[in-house]
Amino acid sequence: MLSISELTKTFEVRKTAFSIKKHVISALDKVSFFVEKGETLGVVGESGSGKSTLARCILMLEVPDSGTITFAGADLMDLTHNQLRTYRKRMQIIFQDPYSSLNPRHTVYYTIAEPILFHHIAPKEETRKRVIEIFKNVGLDEDFMNKYPHEMSGGQRQRVAIGRALATNPALLIADEPVSSLDVSIQAQIINLFMDIKEQYAITMIFISHDLNIVRFVSDNIIVMYGGKILEMGTKEEVLNHPLHPYTQMLMNASQGKFSHYKGQDIIDISGCLYYPRCQRRKAVCKNSVPPLTGDKDHMVACFKE
Amino acid sequence: MEGVRVIVKNNLALVGLIILVPMFFCAFFAPLIVPHNPVEPDLKNILSPPSWTHPFGTDTLGRDVFSRVLYGSRISLLVGFVSVGIATMIGIFLGSISGYYGGMLDEIIMRFVDLMMCFPTFFLILAVIALLEPSIWNIMIVIGLTSWMGIARLVRAEILSIKGKEFVLAAKAQAFSEKKIIFRHVLPNAITPVYVVATLGIGGAILTESALSFLGIGVQPPTPSWGNILTQAKDNIEVAWWLSLYPGLAIFLTVMGYNLLGEGLRDIFDPRRRYQS
């Protein structure tokens, strides 16, 4: 369905507006994975680990520096602008902040109807029927149809954003931290909505979050990212029940409310494992060489521990 | 109706409207309201002070100042709207290209804006009018062509910030055409501050036109304009105060009306207040 290989994206950043020297930040560093049809892949990592960049690169909203993105048999990076548009329609994204992801000047009805009309997904006179159907599927009352985003709560807006993403009948849905900006009580409702959608639409999904607790509900497979690299990946059971990487173990502890008080050293130049400065179990070898991602299909880890 | 309610609730905008609405009314219906022909001399009645037949008095040729001021308001409104309209169109066009596409094009347009801003506008207008014949259309075009830079910069800045918003990314992800993204998603959200600047700009354009007409290179007599009424007034200021007071007051009130309305709109469109009430 979707296969990513060696995807790399770097950003050049100037420290101040007048700096001549540019810093290169590696947002994605040779990321490879694949998602089978109907599967949900959970991507976990802290802020700055490259999760959102990954989401945007898959949709080609940011153009990756190198690597391949194969979706439904086509390499997205080789396509012309017009060809890309036909593929984009089949993959949709849900953003973290439902306050900025909805056009404040469009009614909720128009927001969802717009893609249906533009791509001729349903005959014109059936548009309204389709929108009502989507409203029902995302758990919104029909009364909301003529409201504007600022008249709605965060959870309701996120439902609209989900509805908009479903409007084009996508094969792949990328959810970029879809619940992080919502209240805890609303989070559960939206997670349930995602589970329903997964069942109802038989959709392939990439679910990005910094919270292992949330990812565990929706995912079949899990990827743990840190500093633009995949540190650990495998099936949900394997990764959650037998976390191998110290970073994954730290995340697990954090999600259970156990925080370690270990303070890492700040090391600016890292030529070895990116997690070395914070790792509790680092060894001499970790400092100077990068551990490769090894293991079998169900569970891979990038660590020298074993 | 929602818009009307918001404006009425804002004091500045309300005062602005209270000044401007009657002015619009007078300008539109000037031919029906005026008691005398504004260009017809009446040599028996020169420089007569305000009275019931001539509410604002008469000028050196005996023409009714009230009628002339009313007709002058049509010129002022026309100049205000047309020149600001020209400036706004150029500004939005160049600003949005600059902001949306960025890169080299942005650089070229913005340096051109800097260049235009270096010209002392008023003297540029003087030079152009000296070359062309002074007519109201030339004035409007020249004012428009020399006052779009602020709007272009404003639109560019707005578009830069809107462009990065997630709803624009979402529109891209939905494979909408570039045209649809620009005209339905980016521009409508970037345009509100332009209303404010354009409203304030109308006041400025009216002042510029008055100044040009005062200097004799604007609207040509006998067509009345507030500026050229004042030109005659300055020679008789010791004997006929009404000649300078009323057109001056008209300019003052109109420009103030637009400025108040502009300030009010600024408050209304302020994003920090947008979601209140």
Q: Give per-residue pLDDT as tens, B83-93.
A: 999 999 999 99
| Calpha distance B121→B112 (Å, rounded) | 15
Say if the Cβ atoms of B188 and A118 lie within 8 Å.
no
- Is pLDDT at B276 greater than 50 in this prediction? no
pLDDT at position B104, please?
Answer: 92
Q: Is the pLDDT of residue A268 over 70?
A: no
Instruction: Give the per-residue pLDDT at B277.
Output: 39
The kind and range of the H/E element at A284 are helix A284-288
Of B167, B180, B188, the CB nearest to A101: B167
Measure in Å the smallest separation between the Cα of B198 and chain A Cα atoms: 21
The confidence band for B81, taking pLDDT boundaries of 50, 70 and 90, is very high
Interface test with A, best of B161, B162, B167, B181 (most A CBs within 10 A): B167
Question: CA-CA distances (angstroms) from residue A24 to A123, A226, A231, A243?
Answer: 49, 17, 21, 31
Identify all chain B residues contacting A118, using CB atoms and an 8 Å cutoff. 174, 176-177, 180
Q: What is the pLDDT of residues A137-149, one digit of tens each?
A: 998 988 888 888 8
Of B266 and A111, which is predicted with more confidence? A111
Query: A113 to chain B: nearest residue by CA?
Result: B174
Counting DSSP H helices and E strands in chain A, the numbers are: 10, 12
Least confident of A227-231, B77-81, B130-134, B195-199: B130-134
The pTM assigned to this predicted structure is 0.80
Closest A-chain CA to B277: A151
* C-alpha distance from residue B206 to each of A264, B40, B56 (Å): 67, 25, 21
| Cβ-Cβ contacts under 8 Å, A166 against chain B | none
- Partners of A83 on chain B (C-beta within 8 Å) are none
Interface of A with B (CB under 8 A): 56, 59, 61, 85-86, 88-89, 91-93, 95-97, 100-105, 114-115, 118-119, 150, 161, 164, 168
Residue A165's pLDDT band (cuts 50, 70, 90): very high
Q: What is the pLDDT of residue A200?
A: 87
Average pLDDT, chain B: 86
Q: How confident is the model at residue B124 (pLDDT cuts 50, 70, 90)?
A: confident
pLDDT in tens, A280-299: 787 888 888 888 888 888 89
> Could you tell me how many CB contacts below 8 A there are between chain A and chain B?
58
Distance of CA A55 to CAs A51, A90, B3, B83, Å? 6, 14, 40, 47
More confident residue, B217 or A58: A58
The yes-or-no verdict on residue B1 having pLDDT over 60 is no
Domains of chain A: 35-63+87-227 (3.40.50.300), 243-306 (no CATH)
Burial state string for A105-125 with b = 16 or more CB within 10 A and e = fewer than 16:
bbbbbbbbbbbbebbeebeee
Confidence (pLDDT) at A160: 93
| Best residue in A91, A101, A103, A107 for a mutation probing chain B (most B CBs within 10 Å) | A103
> Which 3 state secondary structure label does DSSP give A69?
strand
The CATH number of the structural domain formed by B2-30+65-274 is 1.10.3720.10
Q: What are the strands, taking DSSP E only, across chain A?
A: 2-14, 22-35, 40-44, 66-71, 74-75, 91-94, 172-176, 204-209, 221-226, 229-235, 294-296, 299-301
CA distance B11 to chain A (A): 25
CB contact under 8 A, B275 and A150: yes
CB within 8 Å: B176 and A115? yes
pLDDT in the model for residue B99: 93
Sole residue written with tokens 């009345």: B224
pLDDT category of residue B273 using cuts at 50, 70 and 90: low
pLDDT band at A261 (very low <50, low <70, confident <90, very high): low
Q: What single-letter amino acid sits at B30? A: A
**Which pLDDT band holds residue A47 (cuts at 50, 70, 90)?**
confident
Q: Cβ of B170 and A104 within 8 Å?
A: no
Alpha-carbon distances of A229 from A25, B23, B258, rounded to whole Å: 12, 67, 58
User: Residue B165 pLDDT more than 60?
Assistant: yes
Nearest to A92 among B173, B176, B184 (CB): B173
pLDDT mean over B54-75:
85
pLDDT number for residue A166? 92
Minimal-distance CA residue of chain B relative to A59 = B173
Q: What is the pLDDT of residues A197-223, one digit of tens each?
A: 888 888 999 999 988 888 888 899 999
Q: Is the pLDDT of residue A39 over 50?
A: yes
- pLDDT level of residue B271 (50, 70, 90 thresholds): low
Tens digits of residue pLDDT in B21-33: 998 998 888 888 8
Judged by CB atoms closer than 8 Å, whether chains meet at B165 and A100 is answered as: yes
Tell me which chain B residues have a C-beta less than 8 angstroms from the C-beta of A119: 175
Q: Where are the domains of chain B?
A: 2-30+65-274
For chain B, what percent of residues have pLDDT higher than 70? 96
Of B173, B184, B189, nearest to A93 by CB-CB distance is B173
Three-state SS letters, chain B: CHHHHHHHHCHHHHHHHHHHHHHHHHHHCHHHHCCCCCCCCCHHHCCCCCCCCCCCCECCCCCEHHHHHHHHHHHHHHHHHHHHHHHHHHHHHHHHHHHHHCHHHHHHHHHHHHHHHHCCHHHHHHHHHHHCCCCHHHHHHHHHHCCCHHHHHHHHHHHHHHHCCHHHHHHHHCCCCHHHHHHHHHHHHHCHHHHHHHHHHHHHHHHHHHHHHHCCCCCCCCCCCHHHHHHHHHHCCCCCHHHHHHHHHHHHHHHHHHHHHHHHHHHHHCHHHHCCC
Residue B159 has pLDDT above 90, yes or no: yes
pLDDT score recorded for residue B175: 86
* Chain A contact for B2 (CB, 8 A cutoff): no
The residue-averaged pLDDT of A52-65 equals 89
B174, A59: Cβ pair inside 8 Å? no
pLDDT over threshold 90, residue B110: yes
What's phi and psi for A68, nearest 5 deg?
-130, 145
Say which residue, A278 or A108, is predicted with more confidence.
Answer: A108
Taking an 8 Å cut-off on Cβ atoms, the answer to whether A92 and B174 are in contact is yes
pLDDT given at position A264: 57
Strands A40-44 and A221-226: parallel
